[in-house]
Structure 1
């Protein structure tokens, strides 16, 4: 089991952010009798997943929707198809972000090459 400061170090995020995710219904740590948050390996893995989704600009509302679907899933009510659709839609957004990053990197490369032609004696970085 991990404390909030340990999980903060392991995920390289702030305790404030972790508490915020808990408040938003994205994390569910257990608590000791004195109220101290405790996280196990499953919660650590889940937090890392949430952080990845956030780093790719998935809105908190969509992550919460995924969590709610996951929690609502049972033998009588399977939500895996809805979760699949939600992740597929986000994957398309990530692919668009990647394409935009590639275009931006190409533009920067062209600019660098133009400046390098102006200053041929400077060490080339690309």
Structure 2
């Protein structure tokens, strides 16, 4: 299977597939003329990586997940630990976004949004927080 067929099958851009090859996540065979020849296994790995990336796993975590997937002696606890760590990071980001939203919502409510130049949004952004 060639790279455009793989891109179509996995929904991944050709550039992304080439990048995954460059960083060693996949290693498709090469034909005599140098074209990539993807196997069903390569296609499966790319779909696996695509799904992991859609869940927010980074490249290094995808590498770890692939290693664990291919290790038939793995402990599911190792997979769970990796996923739990990622889930904790997502929860941290959600909490941070909630705080950002609350602050911005307060500032938007405080701004009159009229023709006058005074604006609590700009005042807050310009505040010197290093003195706190």
Q: TM-score, normalised by structure 1?
A: 0.63
Deviation at 1:46, TM superposition (A): 1.7
CA distance in structure 1 between the aligned counterparts of 2:50 and 2:30, rounded to whole angstroms: 20
Structure 1 unmatched runs, 5+: 121-126
Distance 1:50 1:18, change over 3 A: farther
Q: Distance in 2 between matches of 1:106 and 1:59?
A: 28
Q: In structure 2, do the counterparts of structure 1 residues 113 and 7 end up closer, same or farther at CA, with 3 Å as the change threshold?
A: farther
Structure 2 stretches of 5 or more lacking a match? 116-132
Match of 2:101 among 87, 105, 110: 105
* Residue 65 (structure 1) aligns with: 64
Residues 3 and 39 in structure 1, CA contact (< 8 A), matched pair in contact too: no
Structure 1 residue ranges, 4+ long, deviating more than 3 angstroms after superposition: 22-45
SS across alignment from 1:119: coil
Distance 1:92 1:71 in 2: 25
Kindly tell me the number of residue pairs found equivalent between the two proteins: 110
Tell me how far apart the structure 2 counterparts of residues 37 and 118 of structure 1 sit (CA, whole Å).
57
Between 1 and 2, higher relative CO (CA 8 Å, sep ≥ 6) is seen in: 1
Alignment of 1:80-99 (within 5 A): 80-99=76-95
Q: CA deviation at 1:27?
A: 4.7
In the aligned structure 2, how far is the partner of 1:28 from the partner of 1:81? 28
Given that residues 5 and 15 in structure 1 are in contact (C-alpha distance below 8 angstroms), is that contact kept between their aligned partners in structure 2?
A: yes
Instruction: Rate the CA distance shift 1:66–1:29 in 2: closer, same or farther, 3 A.
Output: same
**Quick check: 1:27–1:43 contact (8 Å CA) kept in 2?**
yes
What's the counterpart of residue 37 of structure 1?
38
Supply the RMSD in Å over aligned alpha carbons: 3.3
